[in-house]
C-alpha cells in the first residue's frame, strides 16, 4: 500500500510539473484572476470558491482531461496493475531511474534500435551524397513565392522523384526484427511444445485469448457494438439510437475519460471527429492555429531532403488509393509541416528511438553544431503518409487535421516502427500475432510455415500501417476507435490473427507464399468488428 501511495505521489508530482509548463496552466491562472471580480467569490473562502467556479465553468473538466491525457501517454490500461488498481496506473519512473529506462528498459532492445537508426541515417546520408542534394537548404525568394501560391495544390507539382528511394520499407524493418535476440535468453536447441515457431524470437510477454477477452471486455458478444449492431438487420432502437444519445451527452460534458470508455463500443460517424479530438485532448486554440501557420512558413522558407521522400511516398501510396486520392494535397500540407515541428521531439522521452543528429557542414562531432534532422526527428518510410490519410475523412481544416495527426503519432504510431519491449510496440504485436496463430490455429500456422509462407511476412505490413490502405475506410475508422478506446495497439495483432482465421479454409489449400499473399491481398470487403468478436469470443479454444 505504501509503495503504491508513494508511486502515486510521484506520478502526481510529475504530472503537475509537466502541466505547469503548458498553456492550460496559464489559462487557469488567468481565469482565477479574472473570477475574483465575481460576486460569489469571497475572501474568507477564496480557495473553495475558486474551485467551485472552476467546476461550474468547465475549467476543472479541462484540467481533468489534461491530466488524463498525460496518464494515457505512458500507461497501458490492459495491464494487470490496472486490473488490480481498478484505474489507470502509469509506469512510474523512479527518480533515480536513468531516462533511457523510460525510453526502453531492456538493453538489447535499445542496442538494436540504435543500430537500426544508424543504418537508416547512413542510407539517408548516402542518398544525399549520391544525388548531391543538401539535407536542407534555404529556398530562394522566387521559389518561396511559387510554393506559397501552390500551397493548396502541391499535388500538381511534378518534381523529378525518380532518383529518390524510400529510406526503408516495412519489409526491411521486419528483417531487423527477425534477427532480434535476447543475449540472456537460452531456450536450448531441442524443440518442445513451448518452442515458438514464428519469425520473432524474443521472449516478451504477450496476452493469450482469455487475457485479451478480459482486456477487451466491451467487445464481447453481449455488448452492443457499432460495426455490428448498427447493421441493416438490427433495428436501431435496440442499441444504436441509445448509443448515439450517450455519445452526444459525453460530448456535451467534454469528459475525456468518459469519451474513451464510450468509444470502445465504436463511435457514430457524425460524432467521431469531436470524440477523437476530445480523447486526444485537442482543442484548437488560436495559439495552435498560429503554430501551424508558423510551421507552414518554415516549409515555405526551407526545403528539406525529407520533403522529397514525403512527396514520393504520397505519390506512391495515397495518390493511388481509391479512398484517399482526393486528399492528396492535404497530406503534403500536414506531412511537410510535421517534419519541421520540433515539439515532436518531446515524444522521444518515451520512444525507444532517438532523433538522428546531423552536424553543420564542417563541424562534424562538435555538439554545439549538432541539429536534429529532420527537425522533428522522424524519418518517413514507405507508407508513412497512410497514417494521415484516413484522418482526412474527419477533419478538413488543415490545422485541425495536423494537430490530430501529430497527437496520434506521438501516442500510437511511433510504436509501430521502433524497436521496444512495450506491449503496444511492433515487436510485441508481431509476437502476439504469431503466438495467437500458433496457439489457436496450429494446423494453419504449421501448414503455412511448411510452404514457406510465414504468416508474419504477410501480416506485418498491415500492422505497421495500422491497416490503413488495406481496410475500407469506414471499417478502419471503427478499428481506430478501439485503438483510442483501449489506448493500445494490441487490437491490430488480434485483427491480423482474426483475418487469418477467417480465410483459413482457403489458406489451407495454398502451396506457396505467393498464393497465400493472393488469398490475403484484398481486405477491403472485411467487416472488422464481427471478425474480432468471433475470434475473441466465439471461437472454441
Partner 1 sequence: MAGRVKWVTDIEKSVLINNFEKRGWVQVTENEDWNFYWMSVQTIRNVFSVETGYRLSDDQIVNHFPNHYELTRKDLMVKNIKRYRKELEKEGSPLAEKDENGKYLYLDFVPVTYMLPADYNLFVEEFRKSPSSTWIMKPCGKAQGKGIFLINKLSQIKKWSRDSKTSSFVSQSTKEAYVISLYINNPLLIGGRKFDLRLYVLVSTYRPLRCYMYKLGFCRFCTVKYTPSTSELDNMFVHLTNVAIQKHGDDYNHIHGGKWTVNNLRLYLESTRGREVTSKLFDEIHWIIVQSLKAVAPVMNNDKHCFECYGYDIIIDDKLKPWLIEVNASPSLTSSTANDRILKYNLINDTLNIAVPNGEIPDCKWNKSPPKEVLGNYEILYDEELAQGDGAERELRSRPGQSVGPRAGRSRDSGRNVLTTWK
Applying CB under 8 A, the residues found at the interface with partner 1 are 152-153, 155-156, 230-233, 235, 268-270, 272-273, 319-323, 325-330, 392-396, 473-474
Q: For residues 244 and 496, which CB has a smaller minimum distance to partner 1 in the complex? A: 244
What minimum distance in Å lies between the beta carbon of 478 and partner 1? 11
What minimum distance in Å lies between the beta carbon of 399 and partner 1? 15
Q: Are strands 357-359 and 302-304 parallel, antiparallel or unpaired?
A: unpaired
Q: For residues 249 and 363, which CB has a smaller minimum distance to partner 1 in the complex? A: 249
Q: For residues 44 and 158, which CB has a smaller minimum distance to partner 1 in the complex? A: 158
Handedness of CA 27, 32, 37, 41 (dihedral sign): positive
Q: For residues 267 and 351, which CB has a smaller minimum distance to partner 1 in the complex? A: 267
What minimum distance in Å lies between the beta carbon of 473 and partner 1? 6
Cβ 492 vs Cβ 531: under 8 Å:
no
Residue 409 has which C-alpha cell?
503519432
For residue 273, with 0-12 CB atoms within 10 Å meaning exposed, 13-18 middle and 19 or more buried, which class applies? middle
Q: For residues 126 and 524, which CB has a smaller minimum distance to partner 1 in the complex? A: 524
Residue 6 has which C-alpha cell?
508513494
The widest CA-to-CA distance across the chain, in whole angstroms, is 82
Q: Which residue has the cell 491497416?
A: 467
Q: For residues 230 and 434, which CB has a smaller minimum distance to partner 1 in the complex? A: 230
Q: For residues 318 and 507, which CB has a smaller minimum distance to partner 1 in the complex? A: 318
Q: How many beta carbons lie within 10 A of that of residue 120, not counting itself?
A: 18
Query: What is the C-alpha end-to-end distance of the chain, expressed in Å?
Result: 37
What minimum distance in Å lies between the beta carbon of 477 and partner 1? 8
Q: How far, in Å, CA of 329 to CA of 148, rounded? A: 13
What minimum distance in Å lies between the beta carbon of 508 and partner 1? 27
What minimum distance in Å lies between the beta carbon of 272 and partner 1? 6
What minimum distance in Å lies between the beta carbon of 312 and partner 1? 16
Q: How far, in Å, CA of 93 to CA of 287, rounded? A: 31
Q: For residues 329 and 490, which CB has a smaller minimum distance to partner 1 in the complex? A: 329
What minimum distance in Å lies between the beta carbon of 153 and partner 1? 5
CA 211 to chain centre: 22
Q: Residue 328's closest CA among 150, 521, 166?
A: 150
Q: How far, in Å, CA of 109 to CA of 533, rounded? A: 33
Q: Which residue has the cell 490502405?
A: 469
Residue 503 has which C-alpha cell?
480465410
Secondary structure (DSSP) of 300-355? HHEEEHHHHHHHHHHHHTGGG-TTTGGGHHHHHHHHHHHHT-GGGGGGGGTSS---
Cβ 424 vs Cβ 490: under 8 Å:
yes
What minimum distance in Å lies between the beta carbon of 158 and partner 1? 8
Q: For residues 45 and 320, which CB has a smaller minimum distance to partner 1 in the complex? A: 320
Q: For residues 179 and 241, which CB has a smaller minimum distance to partner 1 in the complex? A: 241
Backbone angles phi, psi at 448, to 5 degrees: -65, -40
What minimum distance in Å lies between the beta carbon of 538 and partner 1? 23
What minimum distance in Å lies between the beta carbon of 461 and partner 1? 18
3-state helix, strand, coil in the chain (%, to 5): 60, 0, 35
Q: How far, in Å, CA of 471 to CA of 231, rounded? A: 18
ω into 54 cis (within 30 of 0):
no
Q: For residues 92 and 268, which CB has a smaller minimum distance to partner 1 in the complex? A: 268
Classified as helix, coil or strand, 121 is helix
367-371-377 Cα angle (round to 5):
130
Half-sphere exposure in the Cβ direction for 145 (13 Å, CA): 2
What minimum distance in Å lies between the beta carbon of 257 and partner 1? 23
Q: For residues 57 and 231, which CB has a smaller minimum distance to partner 1 in the complex? A: 231
For residue 227, with 0-12 CB atoms within 10 Å meaning exposed, 13-18 middle and 19 or more buried, which class applies? buried
What minimum distance in Å lies between the beta carbon of 289 and partner 1? 18
Q: For residues 58 and 235, which CB has a smaller minimum distance to partner 1 in the complex? A: 235
Cβ 251 vs Cβ 212: under 8 Å:
no
Amino acid at each position: 500500500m505504501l509503495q503504491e501511495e508513494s508511486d502515486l505521489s510521484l506520478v502526481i508530482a510529475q504530472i503537475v510539473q509537466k502541466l505547469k509548463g503548458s498553456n492550460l496552466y496559464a489559462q487557469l491562472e488567468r481565469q482565477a484572476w479574472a473570477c475574483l471580480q465575481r460576486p460569489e467569490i469571497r475572501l474568507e473562502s477564496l480557495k473553495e470558491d475558486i474551485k467551485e467556479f472552476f467546476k461550474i465553468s468547465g475549467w476543472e473538466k479541462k484540467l481533468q482531461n489534461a491530466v488524463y491525457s498525460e496518464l494515457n501517454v505512458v500507461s497501458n490500461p490492459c495491464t494487470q496493475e490496472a486490473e488490480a488498481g481498478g484505474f489507470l496506473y502509469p509506469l512510474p519512473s523512479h527518480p533515480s531511474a536513468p531516462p533511457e529506462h523510460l525510453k526502453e528498459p531492456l538493453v538489447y532492445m535499445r542496442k538494436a534500435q540504435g543500430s537500426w537508426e544508424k543504418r537508416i541515417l547512413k542510407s539517408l546520408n548516402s542518398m544525399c551524397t549520391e544525388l548531391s542534394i543538401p539535407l536542407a537548404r534555404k529556398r530562394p525568394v522566387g521559389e518561396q513565392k511559387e510554393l506559397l501560391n501552390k500551397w493548396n495544390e502541391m499535388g500538381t507539382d511534378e518534381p523529378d522523384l525518380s532518383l529518390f528511394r524510400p529510406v526503408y520499407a516495412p519489409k526491411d524493418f521486419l528483417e531487423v526484427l527477425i534477427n532480434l535476440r535476447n543475449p540472456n535468453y537460452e531456450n536450448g536447441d531441442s524443440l518442445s511444445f513451448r518452442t515458438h515457431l514464428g519469425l520473432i524470437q524474443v521472449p516478451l510477454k504477450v496476452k493469450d485469448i482469455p487475457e485479451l477477452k478480459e482486456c477487451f471486455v466491451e467487445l464481447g458478444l453481449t455488448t452492443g457494438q457499432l460495426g455490428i449492431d448498427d447493421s441493416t438487420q438490427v433495428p436501431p432502437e435496440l442499441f444504436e439510437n441509445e448509443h448515439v444519445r450517450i455519445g452526444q451527452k459525453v460530448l456535451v460534458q467534454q469528459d475525456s475519460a468518459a469519451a474513451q470508455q464510450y468509444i470502445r463500443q465504436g463511435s457514430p460517424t457524425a460524432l467521431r471527429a469531436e470524440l477523437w479530438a476530445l480523447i486526444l485532448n485537442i482543442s484548437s486554440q488560436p495559439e495552435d492555429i498560429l503554430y501551424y501557420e508558423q510551421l507552414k512558413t518554415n516549409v515555405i522558407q526551407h526545403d528539406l531532403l525529407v520533403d522529397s521522400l514525403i512527396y514520393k511516398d504520397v505519390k506512391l501510396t495515397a495518390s493511388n488509393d481509391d479512398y484517399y486520392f482526393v486528399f492528396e494535397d492535404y497530406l503534403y500540407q500536414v506531412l511537410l509541416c510535421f517534419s519541421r515541428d520540433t515539439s515532436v521531439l518531446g515524444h522521444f522521452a518515451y520512444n525507444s528511438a532517438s532523433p538522428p543528429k546531423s552536424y553543420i557542414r564542417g563541424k562534424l562531432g562538435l555538439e554545439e553544431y549538432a541539429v536534429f534532422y529532420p527537425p522533428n526527428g522522424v524519418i518517413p518510410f514507405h507508407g508513412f503518409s497512410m497514417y494521415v490519410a484516413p484522418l482526412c475523412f474527419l477533419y478538413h481544416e488543415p490545422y485541425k487535421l495536423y494537430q490530430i495527426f501529430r497527437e496520434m503519432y506521438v501516442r500510437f504510431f511511433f510504436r509501430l516502427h521502433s524497436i521496444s519491449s512495450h506491449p503496444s510496440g511492433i515487436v510485441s504485436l508481431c509476437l502476439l500475432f504469431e503466438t495467437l496463430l500458433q496457439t489457436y490455429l496450429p494446423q494453419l500456422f504449421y501448414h503455412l510455415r511448411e510452404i514457406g509462407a510465414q504468416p508474419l511476412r504477410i501480416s506485418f505490413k498491415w500492422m505497421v500501417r495500422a491497416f490503413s490502405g488495406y481496410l475500407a475506410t469506414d471499417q478502419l475508422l471503427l478499428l481506430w476507435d478501439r485503438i483510442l478506446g483501449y489506448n493500445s495497439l494490441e487490437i491490430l495483432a488480434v485483427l491480423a490473427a482474426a483475418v487469418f482465421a477467417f480465410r483459413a479454409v482457403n489458406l489451407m489449400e495454398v502451396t506457396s507464399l505467393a498464393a497465400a499473399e493472393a488469398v490475403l491481398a484484398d481486405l477491403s470487403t472485411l467487416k472488422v468488428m464481427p471478425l474480432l468478436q468471433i475470434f475473441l469470443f466465439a471461437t472454441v479454444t
